[in-house]
Amino acid sequence: MIREEELEIAIKVVIVGNGGVGKSSMIQRYCKGIYTKDYKKTIGVDFLERMIDIDGEDVRIMLWDTAGQEEFDAITKAYYRGAQACVITFSTTDRNSFEAVKDWKKKVENECGEIPTVLVQNKIDLIEQSIVTFEETELLAKNLGVRLFQTSVKEDLNVSNVFRFLATKCHEIIKQQYNNVLSQNTPTISQFNPTFHSKNSGTIVLTRPLRKSKRKSMLKKCGWI
Ligand SMILES: Nc1nc2c(ncn2[C@@H]2O[C@H](COP(=O)(O)OP(=O)(O)OP(=O)(O)O)[C@@H](O)[C@H]2O)c(=O)[nH]1
């Protein structure tokens, strides 16, 4: 029987949106606490992670930064697979990026199905140059059925709330599934393939190998020996 303290919860989050909306900057800000004015377009996919505490438990958030340019679509799509949460980003000063939000949602949905998703309006520090009204943005979020966050990566406004919100949602789902597995006594968690996975909504990985006796009792419980 696996004890909870032997498990680590890891959540894969994909960040999508048109080029130049601030995806890489957001991830850098959140994971490294830095911000740069330079724009270096992402080629393909990048990756950073951060540990946070949810309900007294360590949760590893793995952030996948995908290129916004269409030319990289074929590469980035492959990385959506297995994502448990999604951030769709557009920029306050770029109308095209706002118009593209629905397409981004579809692209991710095609690969991952329905996963916890948020809409992020970034560069809110440039609100005076805004190309979209608050009502339009709110309506879009409502129609997509997702929560809206307004952020400024530059001013470090609201960024961590985005990831905390998603991590909390995923954490609830994962816990629920973990409890279901334990109560159903099904052989889903294994030492040899140590992930617990169900419909894209949760991954629990073993952080350290189980002791021999524990492994035996777990395999027994799963009906494998
Ligand atoms: N004013 C302002 N500028 C920002 C903000 N966030 C990012 N930027 C700037 O926007 C530009 C583009 O940011 P990136 O993070 O590279 O954009 P991206 O979405 O990763 O772009 P791709 O890699 O092409 O998909 C950079 O010059 C950033 O400094 C913000 O909150 N406010």
> Whole-angstrom distance between the N-terminal and C-terminal Cα of the chain?
14
- 188, part of any domain: no
Query: For the chain, how many residues are written?
Result: 225
Closest CA to 194 of 168, 166, 214: 214
Which residue CA neighbors atom 14 of ligand 1 most closely? 22
- 204, part of any domain: no
What's the pLDDT at 48? Answer: 93
Choose which residue among 25, 64, 158 to substitute to test ligand 1 binding: the one with the highest number of ligand atoms within 8 A of its C-beta.
25
- Domain of residue 45 covers 4-168
Read off the pLDDT of each residue in 24-39 and give the average, rounded to a whole number: 91
- 65, part of any domain: yes
Is pLDDT of 220 > 70?
A: no
Which residue has 């996948």 as its token pair?
64
Q: What is the pLDDT of residues 45-68, one digit of tens each?
A: 778 999 999 988 899 999 998 887
- 114, part of any domain: yes
**Could you identify the atom of ligand 1 that is nearest to the CA of residue 21?**
19
Name the band, by pLDDT with cuts 50, 70 and 90, for residue 24. very high
Task: Give me the percent of the chain exceeding a pLDDT of 70.
Answer: 78
pTM for the complete prediction? 0.82
Is pLDDT of 115 > 70?
A: yes
What's the pLDDT at 182? Answer: 74
Which secondary structure element, helix H or strand E, spans residue 101, and what is its range? helix 101-112
Q: Are 164 and 135 in contact (CB under 8 A)?
A: no
Tally of structural domains, the chain:
1
- 201, part of any domain: no
**Could you identify the atom of ligand 1 that is nearest to the CA of residue 157?**
31
Read off the pLDDT of each residue in 88-99 and give the average, rounded to a whole number: 98
* Total Cβ atoms within 10 A of residue 85: 26
- 217, part of any domain: no
Read off the pLDDT of each residue in 115-126 and give the average, rounded to a whole number: 98
Residue 79 has which token pair? 């990385």
Tell how far the Cα of 220 is from the centroid of ligand 1, in angstroms. 52
- 61, part of any domain: yes
Does residue 118 or residue 182 have the better pLDDT? 118
Tell how far the Cα of 181 is from the centroid of ligand 1, in angstroms. 42
- 62, part of any domain: yes
Is pLDDT of 3 > 70?
A: no
Measured distance CA(126)–CA(150) in Å, rounded:
11
> What is the DSSP pairing of strand 85-91 with strand 117-122?
parallel
CATH number assigned to the domain comprising residue 12: 3.40.50.300
What's the pLDDT at 45? Answer: 74
What's the pLDDT at 132? Answer: 97
**Could you identify the atom of ligand 1 that is nearest to the CA of residue 18?**
25
Does residue 72 or residue 219 have the better pLDDT? 72
**Could you identify the atom of ligand 1 that is nearest to the CA of residue 38?**
27
Pocket lining for ligand 1, CB < 6 angstroms: 19-25, 36-39, 41-42, 67-69, 122-123, 125-126, 152-154
Name the band, by pLDDT with cuts 50, 70 and 90, for residue 205. very low
